Amino acid sequence: MAMDLETPLRSLLAPLGLGLYDLELIAGTLHVTVIKDGGVDLESLTKANRAISEWLDVNDPIPGRYTLDVASPGLERRLRTPTHFQSTVGEVVTLREIRDGEPTRRLEGTVVDAGETSVTLDDAEHGRVVVPFASVERARTVFKWGAEAKPSPSRAKPKSSTTSKKG
C-alpha cells in the first residue's frame, strides 16, 4: 500500500465505537476487520463501510481497481499479528506450525504468553510449546459450543459488507 492506512482508518472507526482489528490488501481486496465491545452488528458494519468507502474515494490511496470488504472477526477470529496473539492470552487457539525438515504440526492449546516474535502454548499433546511467529502458517481462536464464553473483542457471528471501488 502506498500509504499507512491504519492511522486514518482507526480515526474513522473510533467515533463509530469500533476498533480496527486487522487490515490487509490481498488479490485486489482491501479487507478491513473491525471489533466492538459487545460484538459488531450489521448497522455498525454498514456505517464503517460507508465511512471508509467515502474516505477512500476522497484520498485514493490505492492505485487501480479493488474491492473493499468490511467484516467482524467472528467467534473464531484469525490471528496474524503479535497484537492478535497478545490479546488471546488465556484463550484456546489452534495453529499450524511449519517446521524445517519435519511435517507441519497442528497445535491446540491455551496461550500462556505472546511477545513480539513468538507465542507460547500449553498444548494438550506436546506440553508447553514456543512457536516463532515466522513458523505460524495460520492460527485462530477456538470457540467451544456450550462452554462459558470468555470476553473477546467480538461476539458477533461473522458478517461482511462489501463494495467495489475502481480507480
- What are the extents of the domains in the chain? 6-76+153-165, 82-141
In the CATH hierarchy, which top-level class contains the domain 82-141?
Answer: mainly beta
Cell of 28: 485486489
- Closest by alpha carbon to 31, among 46, 21, 19? 21
Question: What is the distance between the alpha carbons of residues 20 and 14, in angstroms, rounded to a whole number?
Answer: 9
- pLDDT per residue rounded down to tens, the chain (167 residues): 435 899 999 999 999 999 999 999 989 899 999 999 888 999 999 999 999 999 999 998 888 888 999 999 888 889 999 999 999 999 999 999 999 888 889 999 999 999 999 999 999 899 999 999 999 999 999 987 775 555 555 444 445 555 555 55
- What is the per-residue burial (b if ≥16 Cβ within 10 Å, else e) of 3-29? eebeeebeebbeebebbbbbbeeeeee
Q: Which CATH architecture is the domain 6-76+153-165 placed in?
A: 2-Layer Sandwich (3.30)
Fold match between domain 6-76+153-165 and domain 82-141: no
DSSP element (H, E) containing 96: strand 92-99
Instruction: Fill in the amino acid letter for 104.
Output: T
